[in-house]
Each structure stands twice: as C-alpha cells, then as structure tokens.
Structure 1
Amino acid sequence: MSKIKAYLQLTRPANIVTAIADIWAGFAVTGGALVLITDEKNLIYSPVFQDLLWLTLATIGLYGGGVAFNDFFDAELDAKERPERPIPSGRVPKVNAGWMAFLLLVMGVLAALQVNWISGVIALAIALLAVLYDYWGKHQSIIGPINMGLCRAGNLILGISAFPVMLKSYWFLGFIPLVFVAAITMISRGEVHGKNKSALLGGFSFYVLIILALFVLGFVEEKKLLHTFPFLVLFTYMIFPPLIKAIRQQVPELIGKAVKAGVISLIILNASISSVFAGWQFGVLVLVLLPISIWMAKKFAVT
C-alpha cells in the first residue's frame, strides 16, 4: 500500500483535481454543460457527456505525467533539497517513474483523440510543453512561468475543443489561467530558500489582473456578474491572505502555503469562468471539486 502511495505522490492527486476543473470549465464555456436531449423513453441525457469523460481522463494523464516527469528530472536536486520525495527516498526507482510519466502522457493524448483530432493535437501540445517545462523551462526566470501558464491555458482550451467550432470565439480565455499559473510559478520560486519579495509582488499584481479580468468577463458576457460575484469573493479570500503573509515575512513555510492556496484556488477560478457561461449552477458543480482537492492536499503534497 505504501508503494502505491509513493507512485500516487508523483502525480500530485490534489493538483490533478484542479486540472479536471479546467476541462469542466472549458466544457461550460462552449455550452456543452447545457446540451440535454430527451429520448423516446422520455429519459434526459447529454449526447456529449462521453466527450467530457474522455477529456477528463485525458487531463488526468497529461497532468499526472507532467508532474511525474518533474520529479524524474529533479531527482538529483531533490536528493539534496527534498530527500523525502518518492524518487530520492528510494520508494520509487527513477526508471519506473520515467516510464510511468511517459505512459500517462500517452494515455492523455490517446484519450483526447477519442473526442476529435483537434483535441488530440492540443493534448499532444500540452504534453510537449509539460516535458519542456520539467526539463528546461522551470530553470528560466521569465520563460518558465509562461511555459507553465501555457500548459494550464492549453488545458482549458482542451475542454473547449469538445466543440471545435467554439475555439475561434473563445481561445482568448486561455490567457486567464496562463497569467494565474504564471503568478503561482513566480511565487513558488522562494519555496525552498525564501527571500523572493520581487517575485511575490509580481504574483500579487498578476492576481489583481485576474480578478479584474473576471469582473469584466462577468459583466460583458450577458451581464452575468451576479452569477460570478460569489465565486470571486471566495477566490479573493483564498489567494490573497496567505500571499500577503508570505510577502511580509518571505519565509519558505509561508511561501509554500501561498503556493498551495493558489494551486487549489484554480478550482474556484474555473468555477468563476463556468458561472459566466453556464450559470451559477454549473459553477457550483465545478466548486464541488474543491473539498476533494483540499482533502487530497492533506494526504499528498501539492508542490
């Protein structure tokens, strides 16, 4: 059982739940959440529900494989800084971790191909971006956050790709998770050694931009700000207090909490986006993933 847990740790289960929220939000943007049909037996069903399931499976593979490769490439550094992690602790052989990461990425791409070829291409792009970040991007001060943000933006767009015709109208929504995840990546730079005030302030500025963007989106898109407002209040409450504490003291422990809050709040961000396009009801459905992610975060490391 402990061996299984070690392999699961490599995939960051709590984070995978946030990736599922990306897919669901993208699906809501296209109106996929609202497509219901009554058959000859008067049973109500969704003809596109199976596409949502395939894309959910795809993101599980893509995210799990991406973060597993992160530990694969960081094995030597983790042996010095985080020896408790599965690979340096010896609980998971490095070669096994590499194969698991590769197979998860393949699973993600193949699952996306079950929806349509555009989804498959987007999934492949996400997989390549994830490996690029793990191997090279995360060591780059400017390109790194953008690289990671593109992975998350691609994930939201992957959800939209269930209805390829909608990509032309809503591809720009990918900028929201891109900026937010870039902010989290900046903040995480001091998670081991601390003293990264400029990066923390940069992350704070990006957070403010995201809040403003969601307000504008809620107002412009059929004036659904009232649907979105409660989610934005919760989002603000989750991300800012831990970040402000980290800015004041700049110690690794508080920075880690700020990063954890940011990662988990991705679900609230997606709930906010969902509420704009599919109403508060679907926003609540996405928000149901939050307690699941929080519970998993208590069992498995988020970073």
Structure 2
Amino acid sequence: MKTILAHIQLMRPANIITAIADVLAGFAVSGAAVQLFSAENPESGALFYQLLWLILATIGLYGGGIVFNDVFDAELDKKERPERPIPSGGASVLSASILASLLLIVGIAAAFQASLFSGIIAIIIAILAILYDSWGKHQLIFGPINMGLCRGGNLLLGVSAIPSVIQDFWFLALIPVIYIAAITMISRGEVHGGNKKALLGGAAMYVIIILALTFLGFVSKIPWWQVIPFVLLLTYFIFPPLSRAITKQEPQLIGKAVKAGVISLIVLNAALSSAFAGWIYGIIVLLLLPVSMGIAKKFAVT
C-alpha cells in the first residue's frame, strides 16, 4: 500500500484535476459544450464519448509528464526534497519511469480515439512535457514558456473536439501559456526563498491574464455578467497569497502562492468556459475545485 500511495503521489492527482478543467474549457471554446447539451443535436452522444476520451488523454499526458519530472529530479531531490517518493524510497527511478511511460502511451492512445488531430496534439504535448522535465525547466527564459506550452496544448486538446475551430481560437492557448509561465516563475523561490524579481514578474503576468479574461467577458456572445464573477473569484484566489510571498519572500509562503496558482487553474478554466458556454457550464467546471482542493490535502501539489 505504501508503494502504491507513493506512485499516486508522483502523479500529483490534485493537479490532474486541473488538467481535466483545461480540456473542459477547450471543449467549451470549440462550441462542443453547447452542442452537447442541446436536446435537438443528434450528435450529442458522440460528443460525450469524445469528451471522455479527451479527459482520459489529459489524465495520461499530465500524469506521465509530472511523474517524469520527479524521475529527472531524483538526484536533486535527494538533497532538496528528501521526503518525495523517489528519494524517500517509496518508488524507484525504474518504477516511476515505467509508470510515466505507460501514462503517456495511454494518453496518446486515448487522444487518437477522439480524432486524428487530437492524437497529433497529444504527441506534441508529450514531447513538450519530456523536454521540460529533462532540459527546459533549467532554462531561465524558455523554462516557463515550455511549461506554459504544455498547458496551452492541453487547452487545444479540448478544442480539438471540433478541429476546424482551432484556426479561429488558437490564440486563446496563450492564456494558459502566460498563466503557467507566471506560476513557474513564482516557484523558483520555493526551495530557498528570495527571488523577488521572479515573484513580481509572476504578478505582472497574472495581471495580464485578469485583463485578458475581463476583455473576453465583454466581447464574447455570452453576457458579461456571466463571466466577470469567475474572473473576480480567480483574482481573489491568486493575489492574496502571492502578495504575502512578495512581502516576506519565505519558501513556505512562496509554496502556498504556487499551490494557490495551480489549484486556481480550475477557476481560470471556469472563467474561460463561461465566456463560450455560459455560467452554468462555468459552474460545472468550477465544481472540480473542491475536488482538487480535497485531494490536495492528501497529496502534494508542488
């Protein structure tokens, strides 16, 4: 049981819930969410099964990518984070590598069940994830961008439910790219503290995200009052812990700011979803938040 729990911990299950929210948001952007709940749409059943395949795909892709992160960090974690599953002996580099590989294979295979285009996107996500784990995260500039591209690709994975829509809304993938880049910058002081410039840089990118979502709320076909409450909720979740981290620059506070940012991905996706499918669908996505927060009490997020 200890070994099983260690491998589940490697997968960061609370974070996987946020990846599911990415796909649900992309599904809304594509217009498939509106079609799914349309009583007159004969394709609703097919869209539902397609969504299930995409959810399974993102579980595999995110899980595999995050497990490989610990595999590549095994030696470093012996010094900085000995409590993690691999350095603590709960899992081995070999067992973690096998798990990560199987997860990525399942993710890619599931994506191909949804569509050929979804499968291609899944392969790109897997490559980006391994690139980040093995090399990208050590790069000052490209690292945050690399991680952001993984999340942007995850959003597009949801949009690929209707492939033709991607050419019209591909730029929306920049929202999770910038958001994740912000979290990645903030996390650089998580072990040793300090790094105020990175914290301020992350805060600046958060502001860009809030402004972008607000703009989207006012220009989309959905009434603005269905979108803005989600944007305000996102602001409430991410800025207070980041403000405390900037003030004291202590590792523990920075860790809390990172955790808040990761969990709040669900709120971001709820805001994005509401702009394309209305507040009810936004609430459906937001319901993943207490699930993720509950799991986060049992398993590490960062």
Query: TM-score scaled by structure 2?
Result: 0.97
Answering whether residue 285 of structure 2 is matched by residue 273 of structure 1, we say no
2:222–2:276 CA contact under 8 A, matched in 1: no
Q: Which residue of 2 aligns with 1:133?
A: 132
- Equivalent residues in 2 for 1:88-107 (5 A)? 88-107=87-106
1:157–1:167 CA contact under 8 A, matched in 2: yes
For residue 32 of structure 1, what is the amino acid of its counterpart? Answer: A
Please, what is the CA RMSD of the aligned residues? 1.5
Identity %, equivalent residues: 62
SS state of the match for residue 114, structure 2?
coil
* Aligned equivalents of 1:102, 1:94: Cα separation in 2: 12
* Aligned equivalents of 2:123, 2:298: Cα separation in 1: 30
Q: Which residue of 1 aligns with 2:14?
A: 14
Task: Give 1:45 deviation, angstroms.
Answer: 5.0
Structure 1, unpaired ranges of 5+: none
1:38–1:44 CA contact under 8 A, matched in 2: no
Residues 124-164 of structure 1 show CA distances to partners (whole Å, capped at 9, x for unaligned) of 00000000000000000100000000000000000000100
For residue 247 of structure 1, what is the amino acid of its counterpart? Answer: I
Q: Which residue of 2 aligns with 1:76?
A: 75
Q: Which residue of 1 aligns with 2:34?
A: 34
* Aligned equivalents of 1:103, 1:24: Cα separation in 2: 24
* Aligned equivalents of 2:164, 2:97: Cα separation in 1: 36
For residue 8 of structure 1, what is the amino acid of its counterpart? Answer: I
Q: Which residue of 2 aligns with 1:286?
A: 285
Q: Which residue of 1 aligns with 2:53?
A: 54
Q: Which residue of 1 aligns with 2:185?
A: 186
SS state of the match for residue 46, structure 2?
coil
Q: Which residue of 2 aligns with 1:123?
A: 122
Q: Which residue of 2 aligns with 1:225?
A: 224
1:37–1:46 CA contact under 8 A, matched in 2: no
1:228–1:275 CA contact under 8 A, matched in 2: yes
Query: TM-score scaled by structure 1?
Result: 0.97
Distance 1:281 1:127, change over 3 A: same
Task: Give 1:266 deviation, angstroms.
Answer: 0.2
Runs of 4+ in 1 over 2 A off after TM superposition: 36-39, 43-47
For residue 91 of structure 2, what is the amino acid of its counterpart? Answer: V
Task: Give 1:224 deviation, angstroms.
Answer: 2.7
For residue 231 of structure 2, what is the amino acid of its counterpart? Answer: L
Structure 2, unpaired ranges of 5+: none
Task: Give 1:37 deviation, angstroms.
Answer: 5.9
Corresponding pairs, count: 301
1:37–1:44 CA contact under 8 A, matched in 2: no
For residue 10 of structure 1, what is the amino acid of its counterpart? Answer: L
For residue 214 of structure 1, what is the amino acid of its counterpart? Answer: L
Task: Give 1:47 deviation, angstroms.
Answer: 2.9
1:160–1:167 CA contact under 8 A, matched in 2: yes
1:214–1:272 CA contact under 8 A, matched in 2: yes
Residues 156-204 of structure 1 show CA distances to partners (whole Å, capped at 9, x for unaligned) of 0000001001011111100000000000000000000011100000000
Q: Which moved more, 1:118-127 or 1:1-10?
A: 1-10
1:37–1:47 CA contact under 8 A, matched in 2: no
Residues 185-241 of structure 1 show CA distances to partners (whole Å, capped at 9, x for unaligned) of 000000000111000000000000000000111111125321111111110000000
1:152–1:178 CA contact under 8 A, matched in 2: yes
Q: Which residue of 1 aligns with 2:237?
A: 238
